[in-house]
Structure 1
Amino acid sequence: MRVHRPYGPVLVMGEVLFDKFESGKRLGGAPFNYAFHLHKMGIPVHFISRVGDDAEGREILEFARNHGFPTEGIQIDPHHPTGEVTVNSDSSNGHRFEILPDRAYDFIEVDVYLQKRFRDDIPFTYFGTLIQRNGKSRETLHEIQKKLGWKSTFLLDINLRAPFYDRDVIENSLKNCDILKANRHELQEIKRLLDIDKTVAELPRFLAERFKLGLVCVTNGSKASVIYETGNREPFYCTPDDSMEFVDSVGAGDGFSSMLSLGYMASWPLQTVLERSCVFATGLCGLEGALPGDDKLYQPYRLVR
């Protein structure tokens, strides 16, 4: 595992889009949520994505600029529309996502801005699997992995969204990350697709050994989340505070990942990292949508640039 501890900059590649709920639309996309949280906590971010040359793309750019969020890495696509997801409530799984195909973020290119980042010191890099559903963005991600892989710690927040992944995507992603964050259901899907003859409880240690991972973090909703550290026989556990008011869980996992990354870069003890990640994610569950309406939630964790 590559170990880089400076407070960024963090390179984040992935989708930015609008989640369309019955009550209206909200800005989202796991990578954007993650990058936005880090930005609000004082970590410099290079966000690599793509929006359409349309009203929603312009709305995203205006929102970002109003929050001082960097837009230099957000490309404008003249042919494909801005990303969109229809979100429906599901009594068994919380939410059901209908992710529309052929969106701008499927066609991210290696442009001049990204080429310049390859020459920078980028100690931490984030990616997921949805951005790999199209060949163009997948090629760009592979170029990032090739150029930065030897000098950056890669976090894979796997975020499986059916049907936009397969065995090759999962296996190649695991080969190119240092830290894996997944929920229990995603672990079961990894086990199935990779045909691994292990129990779900055994899987984190097995994956860490097979793919040479330094950390594997498993979230489990209202139950205990766990961090497994290579070389440490004892995992770290944290159960979220169930006394907090619950509004919705949209984006809670992205918040968890952002705090996990902040804690890693800040060299907090792993038990502290896990506990603060749970607290931050729980705080997001008390708000409507993936992004807070103000900066109060970030204040205890904000680092001075």
Structure 2
Amino acid sequence: MRVHRPYGPVLVMGEVLFDKFENGKRLGGAPFNYAFHLHKMGFPVHFISRVGDDAEGREILEFARQHNFPTAGIQVDAEHPTGAVTVTRDAERGHKFEILADRAYDYIEIDPYLQKRFRDEIPFAYFGTLVQRNHVSRETLKEIHKKLGSKSTFLLDINLRAPHYNRDVIEDSLKHCDILKASRDELQIIKDQLGIDKTLWELPRYLAERYKLGFVCVTNGGKMSYIFETGTRKVFECMPDNTAEVIDTVGAGDGFSATLSAGYMANWPKQAMLEWACMFATGLTRIEGALPQDDSFYEPYIIKK
């Protein structure tokens, strides 16, 4: 595993979209949430994505500018609409999510802005799996891995969303990351897709050894989170504070990943990284939406450089 620990910049590639509910919409997309949190914590971010040349694409760009979030890496697509997820009520699961296909973020290209990043020092990078559902964006991600793979630490926040993944995407993603963050449910999918004969407790260490990962972080909603570190049998654990009312869990995992990354770049001990990530994610569940409206939310999480 490559070890790079300066304070960025962080390159993030992936989707930005709107979650559309029956009574309104919310800006989201796991990579955008992740990048937005790091930006608010004071880390320089290169966000690589694509929106449509439509009202919602312009709304995203305007929102970003209002928060001084960098927009130079967000491409504008004249043919494909801005990403969207329709959310409807489901009698059994509460909500049903449909990630709409053939959206602008499926067509992220290697443009001059991204080419310039290949010549920069990028110590840390992030990617997931949803952006790989289309061959255009997937080929762009492969080029990012090729150009930055020898000099950047890659976090894979695997974010498996059916039916937008397959065995090849999972296997290839694991081969090109240094740190894996996955939920317990996603571990089960990895186990099933790759046909691995290990228990869920054994699986993180097996994956770390098989793919030469630095560590694997496993989350489980409001239950215990773990870090399994390569080279030691010690398991780091954190139980989130469940004493306060949960208002909204959307985006909590993205906030967890962002804070975990910040702790890693600050060279914090694994236990401190994990506890900090749990605290931030728990804080997000006590507000409505994935992105805090008040910047004061971030003040306790800004690392003094």
SS in structure 2 of the partner of residue 139 of structure 1: helix
Q: Residue 98 of structure 1 corresponds to which residue in structure 2?
A: 98
CA distance in 2, matches of 1:234, 1:210: 18
Give TM-score, length-normalised by structure 2.
Answer: 0.98
CA distance in 2, matches of 1:274, 1:91: 35
Q: Deviations over 1:14-51 (max 9, x none)?
A: 00000112231000000000000000000000000000
CA distance in 2, matches of 1:231, 1:163: 35
Q: Residue 31 of structure 1 corresponds to which residue in structure 2?
A: 31
Q: Residue 264 of structure 1 corresponds to which residue in structure 2?
A: 264
* Amino acid paired to 1:146: K
CA RMSD across the alignment: 1.2
CA distance in 2, matches of 1:87, 1:126: 26
Shift of the 302–63 alpha-carbon distance from structure 1 to 2, 3 Å rule, reads same
Q: Residue 159 of structure 2 corresponds to which residue in structure 1?
A: 159
Q: Residue 21 of structure 1 corresponds to which residue in structure 2?
A: 21
* Unpaired runs of at least 5, structure 1: none
Q: Residue 230 of structure 1 corresponds to which residue in structure 2?
A: 230
Q: Residue 200 of structure 1 corresponds to which residue in structure 2?
A: 200
Sequence identity percentage: 74
Q: Deviations over 1:91-132 (max 9, x none)?
A: 765643210000000000000000000000000000000000
Q: Residue 119 of structure 1 corresponds to which residue in structure 2?
A: 119
Counterpart check, 1:173 vs 2:188: no
**Displacement of 1:245 after TM fit?**
1.9
Q: Residue 280 of structure 2 corresponds to which residue in structure 1?
A: 280
1:204-215 to 2 correspondences below 5 Å:
204-215=204-215
**Displacement of 1:296 after TM fit?**
2.0
CA distance in 1, matches of 2:94, 2:117: 38
Q: Residue 188 of structure 1 corresponds to which residue in structure 2?
A: 188
Q: Deviations over 1:37-76 (max 9, x none)?
A: 0000000000000000000000000000000000000000
* Unpaired runs of at least 5, structure 2: none
**Displacement of 1:268 after TM fit?**
0.8
CA distance in 1, matches of 2:91, 2:220: 17
Counterpart check, 1:242 vs 2:245: no
Counterpart check, 1:65 vs 2:65: yes
CA distance in 1, matches of 2:96, 2:299: 32
SS in structure 2 of the partner of residue 204 of structure 1: helix
Q: Check the 8 A contact 1:215/1:228 in 2, yes or no.
A: yes
Q: Check the 8 A contact 1:43/1:303 in 2, yes or no.
A: no
SS in structure 2 of the partner of residue 131 of structure 1: helix
CA distance in 2, matches of 1:242, 1:90: 26
Q: Check the 8 A contact 1:16/1:31 in 2, yes or no.
A: yes
Counterpart check, 1:295 vs 2:299: no
| Worse-matched range after superposition: 88-97 or 292-301 | 88-97
1:77-88 to 2 correspondences below 5 Å:
77-88=77-88
Q: Check the 8 A contact 1:42/1:304 in 2, yes or no.
A: no
CA distance in 2, matches of 1:127, 1:145: 10
**Displacement of 1:304 after TM fit?**
5.5
* Amino acid paired to 1:80: H
**Displacement of 1:302 after TM fit?**
1.3
Give TM-score, length-normalised by structure 1.
Answer: 0.98
* Runs of at least 4 residues off by over 3 Å: 88-96
CA distance in 1, matches of 2:186, 2:71: 31
> For this pair of structures, how many residues does the alignment match?
305
